[in-house]
Amino acid sequence: MSKATILVVDDEKLICWSLKENLEKENYEVLTAGSGEEAMEIINRAQPDLILQDNKLPGISGMELLEHVKKIREESLVIMMTAYGDVHTSVQAMKLGAYDFVEKPFDFEKMKLTIAKALETVNLKQEVQVYKSRQKAQYGLDNIVGETPAMQKVFEMVGKLSKSDATTVLLQGESGTGKDVIAKAIHYQSRRAEKPYMEINCTSLPDTLIESELFGHEKGAFTDAKAMKKGLFELTDGGTILLDEIGDMPMSTQAKLLRVIENKSFKRVGGIKDIVVDVRIIAATNKDLKEASGEGTFREDLFYRLKVFPIYLPPLRERKNDIPLLAQYFIQLFNREFKRKVRGISRETEELMMRYDWPGNVRELKNVIERAIILESSEMILSEHLPMEITIPSQPASSQKLPVKLPAEGISLAEVEKELIQQALETAHGNQVHAARLLKMSRDTLRYRMKKYDLL
Ligand SMILES: Nc1ncnc2c1ncn2[C@@H]1O[C@H](COP(=O)(O)OP(=O)(O)OP(=O)(O)O)[C@@H](O)[C@H]1O
Ligand SMILES: [Mg+2]
């Protein structure tokens, strides 16, 4: 770090001189001013990191200078030097935003410590700021790829949310479609960005724990509750909470959640006090909540409350035009990580990727590219470095799993066969050659079976 600059403001020349001497020994850069007016002029020009000022100054007073400094730059660090025992002035200085005060005559060792501590706080604040803006860039929409209309619509919704006060969002999409990244983007684009972002996976917690995780508990609320604990809703106040896999949330917790959404307040487990919070809830799921509410495993009223602002992330197979772009994005990502220089994917690789259905969605594509970059020694990702399920064209229909499922109570195979033969004949408008082809059998076999089932 470069040297910190300290401005000493005092009309007593001797004090200015001795502080300058001593502080320079501590490796600070020191400027001095004999009056408030002179100090202001220096502040405009040099922007010191810390101002050490006397309260009693000729011309404008120490308090006026402090007020002025704080008005120009709120985060300015000011340490006030006050007369010994002048509590009133010290308190007033703190109220006006001074970082600390030292009483005159001062002990230089103590003064040194106060200065070091103050500068450390500033550094820390600046670091947090840098970290936050980095986080903002990392989780912003810039790192989410998608050109297809379906994804553009998602981005548009995220944009709308950033300006809206809507406190509930329902994020639906298959596993690996990007629900997590979209949830983070929603948070970091919104006015809540500086406040906490928390995630909780409703599947991974046992029913007994989830309520205390979400809402906290009072001391003695249950056997293990040895002390009061704040829950996620309290800790996330002002920010955003992602309730992942909301479809797996126990029914009793769902009821409590609905109350939080409606009343914006809740009670800790075992508590009586209402705690008011302002939290945006993003509920994510890869389940069909409407279906779940029909089956009675998800509260219908909660479902309707959540879906006020729905965002649907389509599976990758329905937005295949994003595949080349995503592949390129991940190549750059892993090039950086593994210090590689892969340029792109070969034509054949691209064709295979476009043909494949990506059941694991974007996550699967990301993993495929990561693996290929590790294996690849040429400039392009070649098809030989793709996993087998992508390179081997899908199996003929006969060896694939049938789309029909055996009902629990069983079924007559003969009846199924008869029904399918009838359907094939209907589709083929009675043409037996076509119907046989649909059923992948010879015409003779078809005729034999038609006879068997009295269809001739
Ligand atoms: N549009 C996208 N652009 C860039 N990276 C993406 C995109 N969508 C997803 N990813 C990446 O794919 C991976 C999976 O995404 P994510 O974890 O958000 O999926 P998910 O929908 O939450 O899945 P699950 O339901 O399994 O939790 C992550 O590494 C994420 O960074
Ligand atoms: Mg997820």
Tell me the average confidence (pLDDT) per consecutive run of 10 residues in the chain, 456 residues long: 88 93 94 95 90 92 93 87 83 89 87 90 74 73 91 94 90 96 94 91 83 91 84 93 94 92 92 94 94 92 93 96 96 93 93 94 96 87 88 59 77 91 89 84 87 90
**pLDDT score recorded for residue 267:** 93
pTM attached to this predicted model: 0.64
Spatial CB neighbours of 436, under 8 Å, sequence gap ≥ 6: 424, 442, 443, 445, 446
Q: Which residues pair with 30 in a beta bridge?
A: 6
Ligand 1: does its nearest atom lie under 6 Å from the Cβ of 362? yes
Tell me, what amino acid is at 136? K
Does residue 179's CB lie within 6 angstroms of at least one atom of ligand 1? yes
Range 316-391: architecture per CATH: Orthogonal Bundle (1.10)
Give the contacts of 328 (CB within 8 A, at least 6 positions apart).
344, 345
- Which ligand has the minimum distance to the alpha carbon of residue 179? 1
Query: Which pLDDT belongs to residue 89?
Result: 85
Alpha carbon of 202 to ligand 2 centroid (Å): 11
Q: Which of 316, 362, 366, 367 to mutate to test the pocket of ligand 1 (most atoms within 8 A of CB)?
A: 362
Contacts of 7 (CB under 8 A, 6+ apart): 30, 31, 32, 33, 39, 42, 43, 46, 48, 50, 51, 52, 53
Q: Would you report the helix, strand and coil content of the chain in percent, each value rounded to 5?
A: 50, 15, 35
Q: Domain-by-domain residue ranges, the chain?
A: 5-131, 146-313, 316-391, 413-452
Distance 181 CA to ligand 2 centre (A): 8
Q: Would you state the pLDDT for residue 395? A: 53
Q: Which atom of ligand 1 is nearest to the CA of 175?
A: 25
Residue 180 alpha carbon to ligand 2 centre in Å: 5
Whether residue 307 contacts residue 250, with contact meaning beta carbons closer than 8 Å, is answered with no
Supply the residue whose CA is at minimum distance from atom 10 of ligand 1: 178
Q: pLDDT at position 15, please?
A: 92
Looking at 201-338, list the stretches that DSSP marks H as alpha helix, in order from N- to C-terminal side.
207-215, 232-235, 251-263, 289-295, 300-306, 323-338
What is the distance between the alpha carbons of residues 331 and 325, in angstroms, rounded to a whole number? 10
Contact call for residues 295 and 335 (beta carbons, < 8 A): no
CATH fourth-level superfamily of 413-452: Homeodomain-like (1.10.10.60)
Domains 5-131 and 146-313 equal at CATH topology level: yes
- Is the CATH number of domain 5-131 3.40.50.1980? no
Using CA positions, which residue lies closest to atom 5 of ligand 1? 144
Rounded CA-CA distance 144/189 in Å is 13
Give the architecture (CATH level 2) of 146-313.
Answer: 3-Layer(aba) Sandwich (3.40)
